[in-house]
Amino acid sequence: MRDFRYLVARVFRRAKPAAIRNSSIHKTSKIEGGSQVVGSVFDRHSYCGYDCTFLNVSVGSFCSISDGVVVGGSNHPMHFVSTSPVFLSHRDSVKTKFSKFDYLDLPRTRIGNDVWLGHSVRVRAGVNIGHGAVVAMGSVVTKDVAPYSVVGGNPARVLRMRFSEEVIEALLATEWWNLPDEELGRWAKYFDDPEKFLKEWAQK
């Protein structure tokens, strides 16, 4: 019975459609069911798990985004008398409008290439996450994340770097994520060893 319930739950989860509006999703990328993507871009070979929210976000290539991730969104006016949308012209969250102040704080959030966001990560609007970064499960990212850093916690802080500074600089210089698929296929055999990959790259 438990196995049957599990299978039913999986089927219904997959049956939920993704809500995508005013966005560009590369044909090689995938958005799973229950996710909301608005005003955003997903580049090559990136995927977004179930029940995610992306509002005004640029996502690079080869990004791995787990379930329940929330990135971006608009801010409320903390310098007003009230933060409620009933006083704003751009918010339709409530039925009543007492005034229509022209306030919209919706900064662009940018996620680099080859970034991994763990389950239930939250990323504040306007943050930049560097290439190759990893954000641990359940983390709340409130400021920019350096390339190839591993961050975690609330607020997220640097736990360690994935590679040495020398290797990071060399990997960033290759910009391998911009290679055409047919050329990338020839380099893939070196991807399990960054130093070997960089050695071969230097000889090309």
**Separation CA 40–CA 17 (nearest Å):** 17
Instruction: Clarify whether 90 is annotated catalytic.
Output: no
What is the spatial order of strands in the sheet that 19-21 belongs to? 19-21, 36-38, 53-55, 70-72, 122-123, 140-141
* Both tokens assigned to 28: 């090689």
Q: Which amino acid is at 50?
A: Y
CB atoms within 10 A of CB 114: 21
Instruction: List the beta bridge partners of residue 161.
Output: 149
Instruction: List the beta bridge partners of residue 158.
Output: 151
* Both tokens assigned to 140: 């709340």
Catalytic position from the list 26, 45, 76, 90:
76
Crossing angle for the helix pair 165-174 and 194-202, to the nearest 10 degrees: 50
Write out the catalytic residue numbers: 76
